[in-house]
Amino acid sequence: MSSPLAADGPAPPLNRRFSRSKRGKLRNGTFILPGTGERVRRQITLRNPSNFDGPARTNSGSSILHLRRTYSQAATFRTAVDNTVEAWWKFWAWLHTNDAKGILKSSLAYLLGSMATFLPPIANFLGHQDSKHLVCTITVYFHPSRSQGSMQEAIILGLGAFCYAVFISVSSMATSVFFESQLGMIELGYIMVLLVFIGGGLGFVGWVKQRYNAPLVSVSCSLASLAIITVITKENAIQVGVFSNDKIVQVMKMILMGMASTTIVSLLLWPISARTELRETMINVTGSFGDMLTLITRGFLSGSEVDLKSATFVKAQNKHKTVFTKLKKNLKEAKFEHYLLGTEEEYKLQVSLATCMQGLAHSIGGLRSAALTQFSLLRESTTFGKGTPQGSRYSPQIEALVSPMSSGWQDRFAILTGLTAIEETSEEGSDADGRDDDLSRRIERQASTMSYASSTMPTVRTPSEIFSRFIMHLGPSMKSLAYTLSQILQELPFGEGPQYEIKINDNFKTSLTEALKLYSSARADALKELYKSKELDRERPESIEADFEEVAASCGHFSFSLQSFAEEMQTFLSILEDLKDRTEKDNPRTWNWLKFWRNSKARVSNSAHSIPEEEESLIQHPQVPLLPKDLPDLVIERRETQKWQAPVQAKKWSIYRRILEFALVLARDDVRFAVKVGFGASLYAMFAFIPFTRPFYQHWRGEWGLLSYMLVCAMTIGASNTTGWSRFIGTFIGAAIACFLWGITQGNPFGLAFCGWLVSLPCFYIILVKGQGPFGRFIMLTYNLSCLYAYSLSIQDVDDDDDEGGVVPIITEIALHRVVAVIAGCVWGLIITRVIWPISARNKLKDGLSLLWLRMGLIWKRDPLSNILEGESKIEYMELNEEFALQQYVLRLDNMRGAAASEFELRGPFQAKAYERIMESTNKMLDAFHAMNMVIQKDLTASEGETILLKYTADERAQLCSRISHLFQVLASSLKLEFPLSDALPDTSNARDRLLAKIFHYRKNVASAEEDPNNPVVKDEDYEMIYAFILVTGQLSEELKRVQREIENLFGVMDENLFKLT
C-alpha cells in the first residue's frame, strides 16, 4: 500500500510512520490470469526486462585487445576476412527479405519481357515493327512485386486502360476515314482527331489520373497514354485516311504479353497473399498495442515521462503508425482475393476486426492524452514548488499552501518509480496449498491496513496529492487490468506463419470479463474515496479549483479510456471467435458479388431502411456525387452560394443560368487541369499531322516526347517540377547506360539480355525500396528505347529507320533522339503547367489550411456536448462523411506541402519545416476532434446525470468553444492574408479554468445534498464526456499556441511600423 503525498504542514506521527513503512512498494492487486481465468493476488511488473532501455555496456577488455591487434599485420588480415564474411552473411540475410525477393521477381519479369525482342519466335508473333520493347516497359510499370490481390487489381485496371485506348484509336481511324472518303476533307478530319481524340481523350486520361490519385491508376493512365499516342501519331493509316487494325492488334499483343509475364512471375515465384499479409499485420498491430498500453500505464502510475520518452515507446509508436497504414492497404488488397475465392463473408469479418482495431487505437490515444495531461500538471506543480515563474497561473498568496510539496516530491513518488523493480511471483506455484494460507493472511492484513489507513489519511490539498491518492486507490487494479490485457494481446490474434491460424484461448473472454468487473468496481470506489478526501468545503482561488478538477479529469479520463480499451477488446474477441468459426467450418463459396440481379433486388427492397456498414469506411469513400478531387467537401456550401436561382417566370434568363453553371464547372481545378492537358497534347501532336513537320516529328521520336509530356503534367507547379526533374535525370542516366552496354556487347542478344537484367536490379531497388518510381522507371524506359530498339534495327526488323544507322545502328544517335524527345516533352509539360491556369502548391496549401481551420472553428463552435441534449442543438457535431472529408483534405494538403517545396519563387524558398510543424499540429487537433466524436458516438442519448451536468456547465462551455473558434478564425485570416498576428490574442486558459471551477463547485453542492433522496446525483461515469471535453480543449489550446508561434515566426507580430500613414 502506498502512502499519500505529504500534506501541507507536518503530518501526524502515525501518518509519517505509515508513509515510511509503505513507501517502498505498491500494495498487491488481484488480477486474472488470462490463460486459465484464475484469480491471483501478488505483485506484478508491467515491463519486460528485454524492453528496458538501459545504458549500453562496453567490454573494456575487448577494446584493449582490439587496440593491440591493430599493430599486427596478421590481425589486420584476419579483421578484413572477418569483415568480408560478416558482410557476406548480412547480404545473404538481406536476400531472404521481402525487398530482395521483390527486386529479383521484378528483374526476372523484365528478363522475360525482353525475350519478346530477343527470341525470334516471339518477335515474329508480334509482327514486323519497332515497338517490341513495349513488353519490357509494361513489366516495369506493372511489376510483379505485389500481392495476388494487388495483381488482380492491376490486371483489371490494365485491361480497362487498354479497352479505352482501343476505343480512342478505332474512333480516330473511323473519323479520319469518314472525312477522307465521304467528304474529301482530310484536313478537317485531322482537326477533329486532334481536338476530340487527342485533346479530349488524353485530357480525360489526365483527369482520371488526378481524380483517383492512386499508384495503380496512375500506371494504368500511363499505359493508356502510351497506347493512344503510339497508334494515333505513328500509324500512317490515320494520316492517309485508311482503316487498319494492324497497329492496334500489335499493341494488344504486347500489352497482354507484358501483363502475362508479370502475372506468371508474381504467382509462381515467392507468391504473396494479401490475406496472409493481413494476418501478419494484425499480429504486429496487436503487439504494438500491448507495448504502448504497458508503457503508457507504467508512465501514468509512476508520474514520470521517462517511459513515454523512451526509445522503446517511440519505436512502438512508429511501428504502430507503419503497420496500421499497411493494415488498410492489405485489407483493400485482400478484398480482391476473397471475392475471387468466394469468401466474402470472411472478408467482412476481417473488416470488422480491423474496425475494432481502429477503436483500440483511439482508446490508446485517449490513454496517452490523459497521461500527458498528468505530466504537464506535475511539471507545473514542480515549477511552482521551486518558485512561481513568470506567466504562471498560481498566485503568490497561495504559495505557502503548496510549497512543502517540493521538498517531499522524491519521497512521494518513490513508491511509483519503484514499480519497475517489483519481482513477479512464479505463476506455477500460485495454487500451492502452503501458499494459499499465507496469501489469505496477507490479504487480510493488507485489507485491514488499507481500511485503517483510509480512515486516518489527511485530506489532500494539492494536485500532486490527488494523483498519488488516486494511484494509491486504483493503481493496483489499473495495473492488474493492464497486465491481463497485455498478456492477451501477446497471444492474439493469429498463430505463427505461414498458416497464421486463429489463436484464441477459450478462457480469454471470460478472464477479461472478470478482470473488467474487478476494475470497474475498484474504479468506482477509488473515485468515490478520492473526492471524499478532498477539502471540498474550503474556498480557494478559481485557478486552484481548476487545477483540482483538471487533475480529476485526467485521472478519470485515463480510467475511462482503460475501461473502454478493455470493452473494445471484448468486442475484438467476439469477432475473432466468429472469424474462427467461419474459417474452421466447411462453408460453401458464395460469389454473391457476381449475382448482380440479386444485388439490385436487395438494394431496391432495402433502400428505405438500409444503413451503411461502419466497417466499409476503412476502404470505401463516402459517395458524394459530382465532387472533384481538389474540391473538398468543406467548400460545398460556399460553392452552392454561387449558384444563381432565376425566377421561374423568367424563362428568357434560363440560358444565362446555364452559362453561369457551365462557367462554374470550368472554374473547378480538376476540369481546368483536364482542359489544359488536352490542349497541350493537341498542340504537341499537331506536328505529326502537318505534312511539312511530320518527317521532323518522326525523326526525333516525337511520340516519346508526347508521352513524357503526359507523365510530367501534374495539378500543381511544384508537382510538375518534381516529376520533370526526376524524369530528366533518369533519361540521361538511361541513355548513358545504353550507350555503354551497347558498346560492350556489340549487339549480342545474350549479352544484351544479361546486361538488361543487371540494369534492372538497381532500377527496381530505386522503384520498390526507395519509393522513387518515376526516376527508376525512366532509366529503364530510356534504356529500352535505345538498346532494345537498336537491336531491332540490327536484325532488320524495321523498314523506315535508316536515319539511325539501319542494320548498323548508331547508338549515340538513337540515344540522342530519345533524350531530346523526352526533354522536349518535359519542358513542354512544365510550360503548360506554368502558363495555362497555373496552380501554385504554396497558395493552395495556405488557402486550404485557412479553409480547414475556419471549418474546424465552426465545428467546435457548435459545442460538441450540446448535441446529445435533446433540443439543444439542431446541428450535429460532426457527421461521418464530414470527418472523413476532413481527414482526406489533410492528406491532400500534406501532398501540397511536399509539392510546394519544389516551387521556386523570387520571394525566397518555401518554409518547409515551419509548415511541417503546422501540419503536425493540425493533425493532432483533428485527432482531438475525432477523439471527442468517438466519446459522443458511444451513446448519443445523455443520461440523467449527464444532462444535469451539461446544463449546469452550458454557459462556461459556450464561452470556451467561442474562444477556440475565434482563435481558429484569427489564425486562418493571418495565414490567408500572410499578415502579422496581433500580440493580444484571446487566451483559452481563463475560460477553461472557469469550466473546471464550475465542475468543482458542482461537486461541492452534490456533496452537501447527497443525503437528499429526491435530489438526483451525478454518478462517476456521467463525468466521462465532460472529462473528455476538458482534455480535448486542453489539447486544442496547446496546439493552437504552437500554430500561433509558427505563424508569428513566418509573418511577424503587429507593431506600429506596419501602419505608417504616408
User: What CATH number is associated with residue 1020?
Assistant: 1.20.58
Domain membership of residue 288 (yes or no) is yes
Asked whether the predicted pLDDT for residue 733 surpasses 90, the reply is yes
- Of the candidates 808, 835, 862, which is a domain's last residue? 835
Q: Which of 41 and 917 is assigned the larger pLDDT?
A: 917
Return phi, psi of residue 39, to 5°.
Answer: -85, 130
- Helix (H/G/I), strand (E/B), else coil: 563: helix
Domain membership of residue 1008 (yes or no) is yes
Asked whether the predicted pLDDT for residue 809 surpasses 50, the reply is yes
Gap between the Cα atoms of 493 and 993, Å rounded: 44
Residue the block writes with cell 489519511: 457
pLDDT of residue 157: 92
Domain membership of residue 854 (yes or no) is yes
Whether residues 231 and 307 share a domain: the answer is: no
pLDDT of residue 17: 33
Asked whether the predicted pLDDT for residue 883 surpasses 60, the reply is yes
pLDDT of residue 238: 77
pLDDT digits (tens, 9 = 90+) for 886-900: 888 888 888 888 888
C-alpha cell read off for 79: 579483421
Q: Across residues 818-829, what is the average pLDDT?
A: 91
490 neighbors 35 (Cβ within 8 angstroms): no
Identify the CA nearest to 688 among candidates 702, 667, 677.
702
Return phi, psi of residue 1015, to 5°.
Answer: -95, 115
Q: Which domain holds residue 518?
A: 274-384+460-586
- Helix (H/G/I), strand (E/B), else coil: 664: helix
Q: Across residues 421-442, what is the average pLDDT?
A: 39
How buried is 573 (Cβ within 10 angstroms: 0-12 exposed, 13-18 middle, 19+ buried)? buried
Task: Give, in order, the Cα–Cα distances in Å from 223 to each of 134, 155, 211, 218.
Answer: 10, 12, 17, 9
Whether residues 879 and 820 share a domain: the answer is: no
- Helix (H/G/I), strand (E/B), else coil: 32: strand
Q: Across residues 424-430, what is the average pLDDT?
A: 37
pLDDT of residue 67: 42
Half-sphere exposure of 459 (CA within 13 A, CB side): 10
Gap between the Cα atoms of 612 and 607, Å rounded: 11
pLDDT of residue 76: 82
Gap between the Cα atoms of 1001 and 840, Å rounded: 53
Q: Across residues 987-1013, what is the average pLDDT?
A: 74
Whether residues 350 and 284 share a domain: the answer is: yes
C-alpha cell read off for 351: 473488416
pLDDT category at 196 given cuts 50, 70, 90 is very high
- Residue by residue, DSSP assigns 181-193 as IIIS-HHHHHHHI
Asked whether the predicted pLDDT for residue 201 surpasses 90, the reply is yes
C-alpha cell read off for 513: 470479463
pLDDT category at 465 given cuts 50, 70, 90 is confident
Neighbours of 459 (CB within 10 A): 16
Whether residues 215 and 278 share a domain: the answer is: no
pLDDT category at 367 given cuts 50, 70, 90 is confident
Whether residues 747 and 873 share a domain: the answer is: no
pLDDT category at 560 given cuts 50, 70, 90 is confident
Buried b (16+ CB within 10 A) or exposed e, 666-695: eebbbbbbbbbbbbbbbebbebbbeeeebe
Asked whether the predicted pLDDT for residue 737 surpasses 90, the reply is yes
pLDDT of residue 32: 66
C-alpha cell read off for 615: 466497417
Among 733-742, 803-812, 923-932, the least confident range: 803-812
Whether residues 328 and 233 share a domain: the answer is: no
Half-sphere exposure of 449 (CA within 13 A, CB side): 18
Q: Which of 681 and 372 is assigned the larger pLDDT?
A: 681
pLDDT category at 86 given cuts 50, 70, 90 is confident
Asked whether the predicted pLDDT for residue 352 surpasses 50, the reply is yes
Residue the block writes with cell 526476372: 108
Whether residues 819 and 888 share a domain: the answer is: no
Whether residues 959 and 819 share a domain: the answer is: no
Q: Across residues 208-213, what is the average pLDDT?
A: 88
Q: Across residues 637-647, what is the average pLDDT?
A: 45
Among 178-187, 476-485, 631-640, 800-809, the least confident range: 631-640
Asked whether the predicted pLDDT for residue 25 surpasses 50, the reply is no
Q: Which of 120 and 462 is assigned the larger pLDDT?
A: 120
Neighbours of 422 (CB within 10 A): 17
Q: Which of 282 and 48 is assigned the larger pLDDT?
A: 282
Asked whether the predicted pLDDT for residue 360 surpasses 70, the reply is yes
pLDDT digits (tens, 9 = 90+) for 647-700: 545 555 678 778 888 888 888 888 899 999 999 999 999 998 888 998 899 888
pLDDT of residue 885: 79
pLDDT of residue 831: 92
Domain membership of residue 56 (yes or no) is no
Gap between the Cα atoms of 789 and 147, Å rounded: 32
Identify the CA nearest to 723 among candidates 733, 707, 711, 731.
711
pLDDT category at 441 given cuts 50, 70, 90 is very low
Domain membership of residue 966 (yes or no) is yes
Asked whether the predicted pLDDT for residue 837 surpasses 70, the reply is yes
Asked whether the predicted pLDDT for residue 828 surpasses 90, the reply is yes
pLDDT category at 906 given cuts 50, 70, 90 is confident
Whether residues 1054 and 946 share a domain: the answer is: yes
Domain membership of residue 566 (yes or no) is yes
Identify the CA nearest to 189 among candidates 649, 130, 198, 316.
198
Whether residues 892 and 792 share a domain: the answer is: no
pLDDT digits (tens, 9 = 90+) for 289-345: 888 888 898 888 887 788 888 888 888 888 888 888 888 889 999 999 988 888 888
Instruction: List beta partners, residue 395.
Output: none
- Of the candidates 790, 806, 835, which is a domain's last residue? 835
Asked whether the predicted pLDDT for residue 622 surpasses 50, the reply is no
Gap between the Cα atoms of 727 and 708, Å rounded: 8
Gap between the Cα atoms of 421 and 180, Å rounded: 91
Within 29-92, strands assigned E span 29-32, 39-42
921 neighbors 893 (Cβ within 8 angstroms): no
Q: Across residues 439-444, what is the average pLDDT?
A: 39
Cis peptide before 10 (omega within 30 of 0): no
Asked whether the predicted pLDDT for residue 23 surpasses 50, the reply is no
pLDDT of residue 322: 84
The overall average pLDDT reported for the chain is 76
pTM over 0.85? The answer is no
Whether residues 368 and 262 share a domain: the answer is: no
pLDDT digits (tens, 9 = 90+) for 48-82: 534 445 444 444 444 444 444 444 567 787 888 88
Domain membership of residue 521 (yes or no) is yes
375 neighbors 298 (Cβ within 8 angstroms): no
pLDDT category at 1006 given cuts 50, 70, 90 is low
Q: Across residues 158-185, what is the average pLDDT?
A: 88
pLDDT of residue 686: 92
Gap between the Cα atoms of 403 and 531, Å rounded: 23
User: Helices (DSSP H) in 688-810: which residue ranges?
Assistant: 694-699, 702-712, 717-745, 749-764, 773-783, 789-794
Q: Across residues 963-977, what is the average pLDDT?
A: 91
pLDDT of residue 580: 86
Neighbours of 1043 (CB within 10 A): 23
C-alpha cell read off for 997: 471551477
How buried is 149 (Cβ within 10 angstroms: 0-12 exposed, 13-18 middle, 19+ buried)? buried
The number of distinct structural domains making up the chain is 3
Gap between the Cα atoms of 647 and 468, Å rounded: 70
Return phi, psi of residue 29, to 5°.
Answer: -125, 150
Domain membership of residue 392 (yes or no) is no
Percent above pLDDT 70 for the chain: 73
Asked whether the predicted pLDDT for residue 256 surpasses 50, the reply is yes
pLDDT category at 871 given cuts 50, 70, 90 is low
- Of the candidates 835, 864, 879, which is a domain's last residue? 835
- Which of 120-134, 398-412, 658-672, 679-693 holds the top average pLDDT? 679-693
Whether residues 700 and 782 share a domain: the answer is: yes
Identify the CA nearest to 27 among candidates 452, 367, 435, 379.
452
Q: Which of 388 and 684 is assigned the larger pLDDT?
A: 684
Buried b (16+ CB within 10 A) or exposed e, 872-906: eeeeebbeeebbebbebbbebbbbbbebbbbbeee
